[in-house]
Structure 1
Amino acid sequence: MVFVGACSYGILSTIVKLAYWDGYAIEVIAVMQALIGFCCLWIFSLFTKTTTNKVLPLQGKSKWLVIVSGGCIGLTSYVYYLSVKYIPASVAIICLMQFTWMSVLLEWCLFKKRPSQQQLGIITIILLATYLASGLQDSTNIHWKGLSLATLSALMYAGYVVLNARLPQTGGTSITRSMYAMLGSVITLSIITFPGLIAAQCWNLQLFRWVILLAFFGTIIPPLLFAGGIPKIGAGKSAVIMTAELPVAIISACVILHEPIASLQWWGVGLLLASIVYMKTR
């Protein structure tokens, strides 16, 4: 379940790229994905109420904190989708995976949790692997605006991970918490992208082909599978299995989008994946 959920996340960048090629604006895609995801999770929450009587409801401050955290993850997705407009999907996912070491440094800066020498060594290897995997050796083919946006999305995601780990985790089922987080995404994205939503000329039935796919693989399936799978195998093993998102994203970009991946980049991907797995197991 955890593996399939991670693979679902892995194909999002490819779907977004296809939607771009079909002429749809990022503002419309991001907001509609979050809205459909929220509606589906709300329906699921109605059916789970009768079977979760032992779980305390999500109330007051905790509910608002979850909504705010959802706004943060919504912004992360929006910036990540923007980056895919300028750079290959395979490069965008490599940049996004930098959140693994950024979160370590953020904990150091915000909470004085100094990383060990071993962690710093792994971060150095991750940066080297990223350089190889992204194809930065041939910088003429890399759009620096897209690279900057993808790196910003990684930093925002790292901030979300660090802060969310310190939020109170009591009250509400996993589905309920996911629903309120998605509500935060809908509100935040609607405010941020409002001018673009008004100006968009791509409101048609074909739009739902893309946003339903994005909502299904990005905001519906992963939370449900993670809620069922992670408690059975634990957070440590889950964190390792969830790195499957990286190779799946690159393979789908290569097979579906026909993005060229050089042999040196594959070596970089392998080194990056091994480094992330080692960091998470430690």
Structure 2
Amino acid sequence: MSVQNKFKIFKYIIIVASGALSYGMLSSFAKIAYSQGYNAGEITFTQALLGALILWSIVIFRSIKNGKFKLLGNWKLLLAGTSMGISAYTYYLSVEYIPASLAIVLLMQMTWMSILAEWIFYKKRPSSVEIISCILIVVGTVFAGNLINIENFDFPLIGIILGLAAALLYTLYVLFTSKLGTEVPMFEKSALMTTGSAMMILLINFQSITTSPNLDLGLLQWGAFLALFGTVIPPVCFTWGMPKIGAGLSAILLTLELPAAVFCAFLILNEQITFVQIIGVMIMLGAIVYLNISKSKREKQIQSTTVQDINYESK
């Protein structure tokens, strides 16, 4: 591989990593917004609404630029967006009760939840690699969440429940919507789903949002900031970089969301991170990376076997 090609791959790795890091820092800034008097419903709705407006602006601009101003309506994507909205709202709500570093650790349980869900809904039995990875993730969670010292907890159990619920909801969202809207352009797909997300969050919090005294410039600023780094930048980075580096490496880079969230919580919120928690995060990251590398190798073997069979049959 030439130096120029290596530089291009490195560039796309940085782009995908930037999207993951962008996601990771959201919970810490949401926590700051809460300290200023805003709540999860107001923050998530404003983020989704402004995110949808930004994405629709991009869709319209690109359509006019290409001379094809035609929007494809897709109610399934709108409906899928509602599940995304519930997951985001539940996650942001958990951050009101528990440290941001713990919230992201709980959200990462979607890795083993997705394996379990595939087994339940699609009868896809987990491999030995997946079982080992799941066990390591659970062990890592105990350390990363400092769950060993449970007697020292100074926050409600509801925060833990909400964090796990967010992981479960996000798992189901990914499971049932991964194959939806494959014919719809990326920005329009994101715009439709973000619109559905905003609609669902508004429906859940309609009374509190419409009667809130906090609908001010400060909320608008927080919503714009979170929309930019949580709704616009990550999809653009992933769409731009992932096709260039492949699904396996992309999945590994997405795990950067976990250390990014923990580091931001430490740096921005002054949350105490112990050595045991760092070990737990490393165990979780190692398990997720190990799982994705194994999946990538297995997929390559399957593709190689298929090509060989085709070549053999053609002879």
TM-score (norm 1): 0.94
Deviation at 1:281, TM superposition (A): 1.9
Report matched runs for 1:123-138 at 5 Å. Answer: 123-138=134-149
Deviation at 1:51, TM superposition (A): 6.2
CA distance in 1, matches of 2:159, 2:52: 28
Q: Percent identity?
A: 40
Larger Rg: 2
- Is 1:5 the counterpart of 2:23? The answer is no
Residue equivalent to 1:148: 161
Asked if the contact 1:41–1:220 (Cα under 8 Å) also holds between the matched residues in 2, the reply is: yes
Residues 121-151 of structure 1 show CA distances to partners (whole Å, capped at 9, x for unaligned) of: 2101110000000011121325311011000
> Which of the numbers 255, 258, 261 marks the counterpart of 1:249?
261
- Is 1:232 the counterpart of 2:244? The answer is yes
> Which of the numbers 151, 167, 187 marks the counterpart of 2:180?
167
SS at match of 1:166: coil
Residue equivalent to 1:27: 41
| Residues 52/106 of structure 1: CA separation in 2 closer, same or farther (3 Å cut) | farther
- Is 1:113 the counterpart of 2:127? The answer is no
Residue equivalent to 1:15: 29
What amino acid maps onto 1:97 in structure 2? M
Using the TM superposition, name which of 268-277 and 63-72 deviates more.
Answer: 63-72
Deviation at 1:230, TM superposition (A): 1.3
Deviation at 1:257, TM superposition (A): 0.1
Asked if the contact 2:20–2:255 (Cα under 8 Å) also holds between the matched residues in 1, the reply is: yes
Return the structure number with greater relative CO, CA threshold 8 A, min gap 6. 1
Asked if the contact 1:103–1:158 (Cα under 8 Å) also holds between the matched residues in 2, the reply is: yes
> Which of the numbers 275, 286, 293 marks the counterpart of 1:281?
293
CA distance in 2, matches of 1:251, 1:31: 26
CA distance in 2, matches of 1:76, 1:155: 8
Using the TM superposition, name which of 117-126 and 32-41 deviates more.
Answer: 117-126
Aligned residues: 278
Give the gaps of 5 or more residues in structure 2: 1-14, 295-315
SS at match of 1:206: helix
CA RMSD, 1 decimal: 1.7
Deviation at 1:59, TM superposition (A): 4.1
Residue equivalent to 1:101: 112
Residues 49-80 of structure 1 show CA distances to partners (whole Å, capped at 9, x for unaligned) of: 256689xx7746xx112111111111111000
Residue equivalent to 2:313: none
Deviation at 1:271, TM superposition (A): 0.6
Residue equivalent to 1:122: 133
Asked if the contact 1:175–1:227 (Cα under 8 Å) also holds between the matched residues in 2, the reply is: no
